[in-house]
């Protein structure tokens, strides 16, 4: 009978969302039984990919879509025996400019494509091709991670994806990148604007990299996990044999006494995070898997030679209002739902002050089971909806739930990209969100962080910050 060695490395992860859970999985894959992993998450596992219950069904409350080119989410779904959520027919999309629908989907796919081609011309084909190339470039990061390469900064990852061109995408407005490529105003003002508004609540003035990712998020073939994307997080934590601790972390303190790098986590002793009674635990490696920006967390850093405080930029407020009720179709120029789209995406700020209003289906809906297909309306807006706005949008309301959250960074091209490495063995996954926030982006960031910790711990310095564009023979 083989005897398992006692773990000799203690790893603490702050946050049990997709970043924290996938990092736990990758760290376990790399360090094996040598490491014991504690994941601190005071709320539900899943973070921003959690769910909301309404009218007796469960719906995705946050990040809900996965791109078919997202290799890690595809791998995890398969590995954990999860299925894709069924596609239920009858979803009809319309682009609304505040006065009229500038584009309305047809009941037939071919007719919709022909209409789109007529409306947007050659730009539509050009852009589809360009996104394809972009997604292919993105796969270079999977190759470099497979070979064990890690980057200490988000910029290193961008450089691997596409050299200076992609690094620059994080620094120029999407609008400029599109104009430089010769796109006409109609596709920019409608389709590109919709992608940035629906996916990030922002506009084409946001940085180009996040703009490209947002457009990838309105392509065909997108999926989500049957039963909820957050199952991936629970499975990842289970596979990594992590201890899940329901406590709030108040601070990280450098261990200055020991010869080897180490950190103390200050832990709120009970679920009341305001309690003044704290405990402390020492770890060899710490991974922060929660945003550190202003308004998002108040973790303090103590005893570090260089102050860890400066995380410039701000998070963007997104309000998701779920309504079990009837749309006021007259507000959109229709007598009833016949002919009226149930996926209304707005091209610009409008009288309703909404980014989109769309039918949302339960996480476990099934083709052939009508009861499981109960849609609710999900409205995205920048501010909570007033009673007057709700009255204009809905003819009737049975139940309503509001998720008001600081969802994504505000993508100002002036923002600088954070580093993954905050100190010797103190890491920050969510820095990657400042290039673009999506489930897959956080997994890419988390695998990078796990590789960085592993390479550093084992002195594999030649596997850190390798210019993958120059050196592919690794």
Ligand X SMILES: CC(C)=CCC/C(C)=C/CC/C(C)=C/CSC[C@H](N)C(=O)O
| Residues that bind ligand X in the complex, under the rule CB under 6 A | 63, 65-67, 69-70, 131, 134-135, 138, 199, 212-214, 216-217, 438-441
Measured from the CB atom, the residue of 216 and 452 that comes closer to ligand X is: 216
Nearest distance in Å: CB 212, ligand X? 4
User: 316: closest CA among 158, 197, 217?
Assistant: 197
DSSP E strand stretches across 352-393: 356-360, 376-381
Nearest distance in Å: CB 146, ligand X? 16
- Please give the order of strands across the beta sheet that includes 426-428: 243-245, 35-40, 9-14, 285-288, 426-428, 421-423
Q: Are strands 249-254 and 300-302 parallel, antiparallel or unpaired?
A: parallel
For residues 201 and 186, what is the distance between their CA atoms, to the nearest angstrom? 20
For residues 382 and 320, what is the distance between their CA atoms, to the nearest angstrom? 9
For residues 51 and 223, what is the distance between their CA atoms, to the nearest angstrom? 16
CA 273, 276, 282: angle at the middle one, nearest 5? 80
Measured from the CB atom, the residue of 169 and 263 that comes closer to ligand X is: 169
For residues 262 and 272, what is the distance between their CA atoms, to the nearest angstrom? 27
Measured from the CB atom, the residue of 63 and 252 that comes closer to ligand X is: 63
Nearest distance in Å: CB 313, ligand X? 17
Measured from the CB atom, the residue of 170 and 247 that comes closer to ligand X is: 170
Measured from the CB atom, the residue of 443 and 451 that comes closer to ligand X is: 443
Measured from the CB atom, the residue of 36 and 196 that comes closer to ligand X is: 196
Nearest distance in Å: CB 200, ligand X? 7
Nearest distance in Å: CB 460, ligand X? 27
Q: Provide the residue count of the chain.
A: 474
User: 438: closest CA among 177, 133, 132, 218?
Assistant: 218
- Residue least distant from ligand X (Cβ): 217
Nearest distance in Å: CB 387, ligand X? 28
Measured from the CB atom, the residue of 218 and 245 that comes closer to ligand X is: 218
Nearest distance in Å: CB 346, ligand X? 16
User: 287: closest CA among 431, 154, 407, 143?
Assistant: 431
Nearest distance in Å: CB 409, ligand X? 12
- The residues, any chain, with a CB within 8 Å of residue 388's CB and separated by 6 or more, are none
Nearest distance in Å: CB 381, ligand X? 15
Measured from the CB atom, the residue of 212 and 411 that comes closer to ligand X is: 212
Q: 298: exposed, middle or buried (C-beta count within 10 Å: 0-12, 13-18, 19+)?
A: exposed
Nearest distance in Å: CB 199, ligand X? 4
Measured from the CB atom, the residue of 65 and 460 that comes closer to ligand X is: 65
Nearest distance in Å: CB 64, ligand X? 7
User: 237: closest CA among 454, 446, 5?
Assistant: 446
CA 131, 134, 135: angle at the middle one, nearest 5? 90
- For residue 321, what are the CA distances in angstroms to 34, 52, 59, 299, 378? 46, 11, 12, 30, 6
CA 205, 208, 210: angle at the middle one, nearest 5? 100
Measured from the CB atom, the residue of 190 and 433 that comes closer to ligand X is: 433
- For residue 140, what are the CA distances in angstroms to 143, 145, 468, 473? 5, 9, 9, 13
Measured from the CB atom, the residue of 50 and 63 that comes closer to ligand X is: 63
């Amino acid at each position: 009978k083989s005897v398992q060695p006692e773990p000799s490395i203690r790893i603490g992860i702050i946050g049990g969302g997709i970043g924290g859970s996938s990092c736990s999985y990758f760290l376990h894959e790399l360090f094996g039984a040598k490491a014991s992993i504690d994941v601190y998450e005071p709320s539900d596992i899943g973070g921003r990919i959690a769910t909301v219950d309404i009218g007796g069904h469960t719906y995705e409350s946050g990040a809900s879509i996965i791109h078919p080119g997202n290799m890690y989410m595809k791998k995890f779904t398969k590995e954990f025996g999860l299925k894709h959520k069924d596609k239920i027919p009858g979803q009809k999309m319309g682009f609304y400019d505040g006065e009229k629908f500038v584009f309305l989907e047809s009941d037939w796919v071919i007719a919709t494509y022909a209409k789109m081609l007529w409306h947007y011309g050659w730009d539509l084909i050009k852009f589809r091709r360009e996104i394809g190339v972009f997604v292919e470039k993105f796969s270079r990061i999977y190759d470099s991670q497979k070979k064990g390469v890690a980057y200490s900064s988000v910029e290193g990852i961008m450089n691997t994806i596409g050299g200076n061109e992609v690094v620059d995408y994080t620094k120029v407005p999407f609008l400029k990148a599109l104009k430089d490529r010769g796109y006409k105003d109609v596709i920019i003002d409608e389709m590109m604007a919709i992608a940035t508004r629906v996916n990030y609540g922002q506009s084409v003035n946001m940085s180009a990299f996040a703009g490209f990712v947002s457009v990838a998020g309105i392509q065909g073939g997108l999926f989500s996990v049957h039963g909820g994307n957050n199952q991936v997080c629970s499975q990842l934590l289970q596979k990594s044999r992590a201890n899940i601790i329901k406590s709030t972390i108040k601070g990280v303190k450098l261990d200055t006494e020991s010869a080897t790098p180490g950190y103390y986590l200050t832990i709120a002793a009970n679920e009341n995070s305001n309690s003044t009674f704290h405990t402390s635990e020492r770890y060899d490696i710490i991974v922060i898997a929660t945003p550190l920006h202003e308004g998002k967390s108040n973790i303090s850093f103590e005893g570090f030679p260089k102050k860890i405080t400066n995380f410039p930029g701000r998070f963007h407020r997104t309000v998701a209002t779920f309504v079990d009720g009837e749309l006021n179709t007259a507000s959109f120029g229709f007598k009833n739902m016949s002919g009226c789209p149930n996926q209304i995406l707005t091209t610009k700020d409008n009288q309703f002050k909404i980014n989109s209003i769309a039918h949302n289906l339960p996480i476990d809906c099934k083709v052939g089971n009508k009861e499981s297909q109960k849609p609710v309306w999900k409205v995205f807006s920048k501010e909570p909806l007033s009673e007057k706005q709700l009255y204009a949008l809905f003819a009737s309301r049975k139940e309503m739930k509001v998720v008001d959250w600081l969802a994504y960074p505000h993508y100002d091209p002036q923002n600088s990209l954070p580093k993954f490495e905050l100190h010797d063995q103190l890491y920050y996954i969510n820095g990657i969100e400042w290039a673009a926030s999506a489930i897959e982006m956080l997994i890419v960031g988390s695998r990078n962080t796990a590789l960085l910790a592993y390479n550093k711990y084992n002195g594999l310095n030649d596997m850190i910050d390798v210019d993958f564009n120059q050196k592919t023979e690794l």
